[in-house]
Amino acid sequence: MAEFTGKSVCKGVAIGRIKFYSQQENTVVREKVDDASAEQTRYEQARDKAIEELNALYEKAVTTVGEDNAEIFNVHAMMLEDEDYNDSVSSIIAGQQVNAEYAVATTGDNFAEMFASMEDEYFKARSADVKDISERVIRILTGKENSNDIGEEPVIIIAEDLAPSETVQMDKSKLLAFVTRLGSSNSHTAILARTMNIPAMVGTPIDKAFDGKMGIVDGYEGKLIVDPSADVLEIYFAKKKADDEKKALLQELKGQENVTKSGKKINLYANIGNPGDLGAVLANDAGGIGLFRSEFLYLGSEDFPTEEAQFQAYKKVLETMGSKKVIIRTLDIGADKQVDYFGLEKEENPALGYRAIRICLTRPEIFRTQLRALYRASAYGNLAIMYPMIISVSEVLQIKEISKSVREELISEGIKVGEVEEGIMIETPAAAVMSDELAKHVDFFSIGTNDLTQYTLAIDRQNEKLDVFYNAHHPALLRLIKMVADNGHKEGIWTGICGELGADTTLTEEFIKMGIDELSVSPGAVLSVRKAIRECE
């Protein structure tokens, strides 16, 4: 038995087998071969297997994310059958007498470059696809397993690090816990773990040798135990039982109001990443959705999600929530949330870089597609839209002009749209300081404390070394929150908190005193925050 400590980012106890997750590294070496025709056969077999995998993925995806989103797997399968692609691989193998891996990698690079240089946006986007299919064939040729596939049995995932795009593609029903060596408590992978309500730790010394062993994750104490003794296992089975019972007790708060002892009511909503999280929202009795991080739809797909695919996802959330409010945040891609098909350049300071609304305002075709899907979906429930990373009034005016024109366009097409509140996230000190002016142009404020803390304290939320300096209760931050709520109220608009700090029950009373009107937290935290509200004076 061995015990390791790390930083807990989601409480709870998990007991199960450990699976080491490694990012795929397909470093390809050029090798001369004696028998080119044997190499050609190896290639054809790997290609056929890749097509089989893609067909299976398509079938699985149709049932989980719908036909439109699944279509990408069909496109990939077709690309692998493309004559030009196959001719290129074969001629490199035969012409240069080299290994199939090298021929596939070179073809992939050449085709990706060719697509990337095309004018047409559709073809440009195929650049990432051709790389993707080539990686798949190379992985099969080198006999590596598909590391996104975590197998049948639920497992504790250990990894050096996990990108949000990797986490979002894992089958959630098979995850017992996450443990990573890197990552900070406010990274999106940590947030994702909290949304799924599974125990998670970062900053833990993991080792590939743990793979396949029995493990315990204690998200209360920040402990990973590998190969536990029978005694320790017994202790943890009891701890897990007590934990489950505590959670069951909280269930008694379902159906109760979020009201303080003196009668002040506040709205308590949940944060989600995709429609798959709705079950947890309903199970925890949230009063609405306070933050739907729509970029997870983009992170979970291999190409820009179409207007129709987005519409279906938003409609599903709105219909499920009925008359309850659903606040969907427009695309917040960039910084730690990267997707190849956006073709974003590497930046020196990604958190201060080209992200969120900055992308939307400079690539209006992406923004308009999302807004069309949102307004179409607005006819099916109680939708509010909010915009991330705002720094100035002029951005808000620009956004409102675009959203108005999208709305009018839909109406002129005879499409029904509902009444939609439009708000902004307060995530930058600039927005907090300008909140008196901003309040004149929007229907609500939602404070994103994760980014507001990062920018106010000048602490990169991704950098685990800075966790010791990251004071989530810093007075500068609390003053800004109060200032935003006051400025909002002066203009008659409401203010909520949708960052992770909203779930910090040691601050619930202070937030209520500041006049915060809404808290939006991960679904698993809803009932404990309700308990805290009900205990406030």
- 76 is annotated as an active-site residue: no
Residue 15 in contact with residue 216, Cβ under 8 Å?
yes
Task: Specify the stretch interacting with Mg ion by CB under 5 A; choose among 172-180, 195-203, 279-287, 450-458.
Answer: 450-458
Among residues 10, 76, 360, 498, the one annotated as catalytic is 498
- Angstrom CA distances, 492 to 90, 154, 264, 333, stand at 68, 49, 18, 31
Residue 382 CB, shortest distance to ligand PEP, in Å, is: 20
> Which residue number, 448 or 524, has a Cβ lying nearer to ligand PEP?
448
3 state DSSP class of 327: strand
Q: Which entry of Mg ion, ligand PEP, none binds 498, CB below 5 to 8 A by partner kind?
A: ligand PEP
Q: Which two tokens stand for residue 488?
A: 């909002």
Interface with Mg ion (CB under 5 A), residue from 108, 154, 164, 448 = 448
CB of 197 to ligand PEP, least distance (A): 17
Q: Contact with Mg ion (CB under 5 A): which of 285, 451, 464, 500?
A: 451
Nearer to Mg ion, 334 or 448 (CB): 448
- Does residue number 183 form part of the binding site for Mg ion (CB under 5 A)? no
Q: Phi then psi for 88, rounded to 5 degrees?
A: -65, -45
- The answer to whether residues 421 and 384 touch, using CB atoms and an 8 Å cutoff, is yes
What are the residue ranges of helices labelled H in 346-387? 357-362, 364-377
Give the three-state DSSP class for 343. coil
Task: Name the DSSP class of 305.
Answer: P
**Count of residues touching Mg ion (by CB under 5 A):** 3
Toward ligand PEP, which CB reaches closer, 331 or 373? 331
53 is an interface residue for Mg ion by CB under 5 A: no
By CB under 5 A, residue 460 contacts Mg ion: no
Instruction: Indicate the residue among 108 and 164 with the shorter CB distance to Mg ion.
Output: 164
> Closest Cα to residue 78, out of 54, 107, 42?
54
In DSSP terms, 520 is beta-bridged to 269
CB of 464 to Mg ion, least distance (A): 18
Round to the nearest angstrom and report the end-to-end CA distance of the chain. Answer: 47
* Residue ranges of E strands in 62-181: 155-159, 175-180
Residue from 76, 188, 360, 536 carrying the catalytic annotation: 188
Count of CB atoms situated within 10 Å of the CB of 242: 11
Q: How far is the CB of 374 from Mg ion (least distance, A)?
A: 19
To the query of whether residue 536 is one of the catalytic residues in this protein, the response is no
Query: Nearest approach, Cβ of 335 to Mg ion (angstroms)?
Result: 9
Per partner kind, with CB cut-offs from 5 to 8 A, the member of Mg ion, ligand PEP, none near residue 499 is ligand PEP
Q: CB-wise, 19 or 293, nearer to ligand PEP? A: 293
| Measured distance CA(61)–CA(414) in Å, rounded | 32
State how far the Cα of 461 lies from the Cα of 466, in Å rounded to an integer.
8
Region from 151-159, 443-451, 471-479, 505-513 binding Mg ion, contact rule CB under 5 A: 443-451
What is the contact surface with ligand PEP in residues (CB under 6 A)?
191, 291, 293, 332, 427, 448-451, 498-499
Tokens of 48: 């056929």
> For 280, what's the count of Cα atoms within 13 Å in the CB-facing half-sphere?
25
Q: How far is the CB of 425 from ligand PEP (least distance, A)?
A: 7
- Residue 153 DSSP symbol: S
Give catalytic residues, as residue numbers.
Answer: 188, 498
Using CB under 5 A as the criterion, which residues of the chain lie in contact with Mg ion when the complex forms?
Answer: 427, 448, 451
